[in-house]
Amino acid sequence: MMIAVTGATGQLGSLVLDRLLKMVPADQLVAIVRSPDKAAALAARGIEIRRGNYAEPPTLAPALAGVNRLLLISGSDLGQRLAQHRAVIEAAKAAGVELVAYTSVLRADTSSLPIAGEHKETEELLRSSGISYVILRNGWYIENYTERVAAPLAQGAFLGSAGEGRVAAASRADYAAAAATVLATDGQRHPGLGHLRRDQMRDRHGDERAGGRVGRPAHPGEHDSARPDRHRRHARGGAYSPPMRPAG
């Protein structure tokens, strides 16, 4: 059995391969990447490297030759992802791939998130493809908090506009483990859908946990809940002055 992972040098793809190496022999793994010269570390671990670019459909058929199961990690080119995903799915069908797992988003069919539309349409492509599939509806990355702690810590507060809204988050490693399990274990050869998340938490709790990870006491008062327009200006580079807080 040959298992291929697209976007294999990316943050999620590399974690999936890390997990798969603990489950199957390296000679059963294929890393599909845009730039093979950036995949030397994977090659050194015995993984076969193949070039495949979502935006260059002719590269996809050779990349998928002999592959039984494929993890299609959603592309990053917003507005172009549907066409790119279609190219991968069509190439997978032509190559005789038996199972495609796809990284979607929570509630892709009903979500109002701007990114949800392309995920929903990709899911529909899979359903109509005739290939067995598993849709992995990933939730929020906890790293969306932990990777942005430097500026808020320097400013003295985390800025958000979710109020008491809740978010379902998990680490990339958690999502990678789920994907690897789908790819490497039996019993997955049927249409399926999985909503992947840990327990829900309020947005401010994610910020508090992020602060705690870098050794700073994290208190609810350090999360500044702003109006969406103010949050938007800050995200686009506008100045942000955190509210004054009592010393001690």
The CATH number of whichever domain residue 25 belongs to comes to 3.40.50.720
Task: Examine residue 109 and state whether it is found in any structural domain, yes or no.
Answer: yes
Confidence of residue 143 (pLDDT cuts 50, 70, 90): confident
Tokens, residue 85: 């995903």
User: From start to end of the chain, where are the E strands?
Assistant: 3-6, 29-33, 48-51, 69-72, 99-105, 132-138, 140-141, 158-160, 166-170, 192-196, 200-202, 223-225
Q: Is residue 240 part of a domain?
A: no
Q: Residue 99 domain-assigned?
A: yes
Instruction: Please report which confidence band the pLDDT of residue 228 belongs to, taking 50, 70 and 90 as the band edges.
Output: low
Distance CA(69)–CA(132), nearest Å, equals 10
Gap between the Cα atoms of 134 and 138, Å rounded: 12
* In-domain check, residue 37: yes
The verdict on residue 9 lying in a domain is yes
**pLDDT, average across residues 134-156:** 81
Query: What is the structure's pLDDT at 72?
Result: 98
Domain that holds residue 90: 3-141+170-198
Distance CA 171, CA 231 (A): 24
Integer Cα distance of 88 and 5 in angstroms: 12
Domain assignment present for residue 31? The answer is yes
Number of domains in the chain: 1
- When pLDDT is cut at 50, 70 and 90, the band that residue 212 belongs to is very low
Residue range 158-187, pLDDT digits in tens: 666 667 777 778 899 999 999 999 999 974
| 176 in a structural domain | yes
Lowest mean pLDDT among 46-50, 105-109, 129-133, 239-243: 239-243
Q: Is residue 74 part of a domain?
A: yes
